[in-house]
């Protein structure tokens, strides 16, 4: 047991030093993180409504209970309102009673980026669209489902597309 612990310790030590190196190499690029979709503030203002711009680009928060997708139960896909990247499906949505659309997981593939957010005197995990850097909301560890997570997302950050049911013909 101790042997394994030592091996593990050595491996972790190596990983830590590698990461430190990586972190140093990346430190410059991290400050100016770029996303596949990049627009200037003026271009974003043109393509988004004022409310969407405030939420997505200035990390605003819509008033609880006011969002169009809060009590939305239709089947389909929720994409980023900024760039159209698919982020969540209706299967992942649950009624959280917190005032914002809530999901217990995201569509796989690194579509949602997580960032430590120390604003407003709190330690929270901000979630952003990994494709355009748009602010989505925050993720918390108090989810009621098996994932234990609650993605609390602004409706204004999302665009819903209803599911297209294949193989179903109308009578």
- Binding stretches for Zn ion (CB under 5 A): 80, 82-83, 85, 129, 131-132, 134
Instruction: Tell me phi and psi for residue 155, to 5 degrees.
Output: -55, -35
Minimal distance, residue 106 CB to Zn ion, in Å? 13
C-alpha pair distances (Å), 148 with each of 67, 103, 104, 135: 24, 11, 7, 22
- Catalytic residue positions? 152
Could you write out the DSSP letters of every residue in 38-107?
A: ---HHHHHHHS-HHHHHHHTT---PPTT-STTTT---SEEEEETTT--EEEEGGGEE--SSSS-EES---
Task: Compare residues 37 and 92 and give the one whose CB is closer to Zn ion.
Answer: 37
Minimal distance, residue 142 CB to Zn ion, in Å? 26
Looking at the DSSP assignment, which residues form a beta bridge with residue 150? 140
Minimal distance, residue 41 CB to Zn ion, in Å? 15
């Amino acid at each position: 047991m101790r042997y394994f612990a030592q091996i593990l310790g050595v491996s972790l030590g190596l990983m830590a030093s590698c990461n430190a190196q990586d972190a140093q190499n990346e430190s410059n690029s991290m400050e100016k993180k770029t996303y596949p979709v990049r627009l200037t503030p003026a271009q974003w203002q043109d393509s988004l409504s004022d409310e969407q711009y405030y939420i997505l680009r200035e990390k605003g928060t819509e008033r609880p209970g006011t969002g169009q997708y809060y009590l939305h139960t239709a089947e389909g896909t929720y994409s980023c309102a900024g760039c159209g990247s698919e982020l969540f499906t209706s299967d992942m949505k649950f009624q959280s009673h917190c005032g914002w659309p809530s999901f217990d997981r995201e569509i796989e593939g690194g579509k949602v980026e997580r960032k430590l957010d120390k604003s407003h005197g709190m330690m929270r995990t901000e979630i952003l669209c990994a494709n355009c850097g748009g602010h989505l909301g925050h993720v918390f560890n108090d989810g009621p489902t098996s994932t234990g997570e609650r993605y609390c997302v602004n409706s204004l950050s999302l665009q819903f597309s209803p599911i297209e049911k294949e193989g179903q013909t109308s009578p």
